[in-house]
Structure 1
Amino acid sequence: MRRLCSEFIGTAFLLIGVVGSGIMGAALAQGNDAVALLANAIATGCILYAIITTLGPISGAHFNPVVTLAFALRGEHHWRDVAPYIGAQIAGAIIGVWLTHLMFDMSILQTSTTMHRTGLGQWTSEIIATLGLLFVIFGGVHHRPDAVPPLVGLYITGAYFFTSSTSFANPAVTIARGFSDTFAGIYPGHIAMFILMQLVGLGLAHLILPRLLRTLP
């Protein structure tokens, strides 16, 4: 239960960081999307560093169904715990979005109308973003376990700018952002393909990383 609470709380704070910084960034940037995205990226990287560092010793700080599945495929996470972890992550992500709307005095229940997150470029971007995230996590675990929190935070901060999709790379985040008609939102009709591409990225990581990092099974 402590581990599930950790995953729930951590993923909630992740979405508060993602959506909240998107709302604040868009409001302060006054139409300058580059400045809004920069604020969004920095805040997301910072919250990732914080929650991975503080909650990692409790639950492993997955906060992402793809990461949970990747550890299960490595044999480092019990398969019986996969569904509860993913459930906690998705629930936490949605609650995080709703709390963010409450903080900014917005309608709590929303559906995103953001329509530009689709197409071959965006789908390819999600494969690369997810593969890169898992590469950073497992490369860090292999070489410098203590450096995983900053590695993940820095990777996601950068990936906001070097991927066309702004690097969702997380099914729980993708689902939850469909419930926010803000800067960070994604139209619900585009969610399924994003998640499918993230799973493709997971599959590629499972094929490539064991050969690259020889100590992995």
Structure 2
Amino acid sequence: MNTALPRRAAAEFIGTAFLVMAVVGSGVMATQLSPNDVGLQLLQNSLATGAALVALILALQPVSASFNPIVTLVERVLGVIGTRTAVALVAAQVLGGLAGTIVANLMFSLAPIAFSTHQRSGPGLWLAEVIATAGLLVIVFGSIRSRRPDRVALAVGGYITAAYWFTSSTSFANPAVTIARTITDTFAGIAPISAPGFIAAQLAGGVLGLILLRFLYPADSTTLSVPADESAADRKVLS
């Protein structure tokens, strides 16, 4: 029996859960420690998130470490993974994100599910999500093209930490994380009514990022490290 897909799905669930715990938990901690300084709260939140990303990617990369439906969908378009794998990984990411938010809420003695009242909407924020997501794809796949997969974790963690500050949206850049952040009424939350606009912008950023990748690396095989027992269909790489 091929156990690669269940293991990959589990890694995506665990990784996304811990990523969201870092985002939500550090946001709550920041508001408790620095209640009157929003800038310092954002600094604390961004550093915790970036550091968690580096650690999680380094630990789970040998199995699966996308933690983002946009990255997974681009992998599918590029032929890195098959449709069945993509569906399973995206489902694991969304469920993992929701689980991470619930655990983070509980760790700080909050209601496990509390829909956010923090509305985030407007053309500037949507444009920021397009840019943040497109940039993330260039960072991820550009780092992979360097043939040094050990660089991916540092590149992604560093980019997300920076993007917290140079984008007006604080760089969600991830539909699974966006959905997860709707159920916490804390510093990191986003109102459910605002989530569709963010997700639409992230999908648009995914398309832009894919166009940039095709332009920048037209003759390169864009591939990721896959487990040794991955199915033949999921080994296919589009040249």
Question: Given the two structures, how large is their TM-score scaled by the length of structure 1?
Answer: 0.97
Is the partner of 1:57 in helix, strand or coil? coil
The answer for unaligned runs of 5 or more in structure 2 is 1-5, 222-238
**1:127-173 per-position Cα deviation (integer Å, ceiling 9, x unaligned):** 00000000100110001322000000000000000000000000000
What is the aligned partner in structure 1 of residue 133 from structure 2? 130
What is the aligned partner in structure 2 of residue 159 from structure 1? 163
1:33 is aligned with what amino acid? V
What is the aligned partner in structure 2 of residue 199 from structure 1? 203
What is the aligned partner in structure 1 of residue 31 from structure 2? 26
What is the aligned partner in structure 2 of residue 83 from structure 1? 87
* Equivalent residue runs for 1:60-79 within 5 Å: 61-79=65-83
Taking only the aligned residue pairs, the percentage that are identical comes to 47
Give the Cα separation in 2 of the matches to 1:87 and 1:29: 35
The answer for unaligned runs of 5 or more in structure 1 is none
**1:49-80 per-position Cα deviation (integer Å, ceiling 9, x unaligned):** 01100101112x01000010011111111111
- Which is helix-richer, 1 or 2? 1
Aligned length: 215
Q: Considering only CA atoms, is the larger Rg found in Structure 1 or Structure 2?
A: 2
Give the Cα separation in 1 of the matches to 2:152 and 2:113: 34
Give the Cα separation in 2 of the matches to 1:30 and 1:205: 37
Greater than 2 Å deviation, 4+ residue runs: none
1:120 aligns with 2:123: yes
Is the partner of 1:82 in helix, strand or coil? helix
Give the Cα separation in 2 of the matches to 1:49 and 1:191: 26
What is the aligned partner in structure 2 of residue 45 from structure 1? 50
1:45 is aligned with what amino acid? G
State the Cα RMSD in Å: 0.8
What is the aligned partner in structure 2 of residue 150 from structure 1? 154
Question: Given the two structures, how large is their TM-score scaled by the length of structure 2?
Answer: 0.88
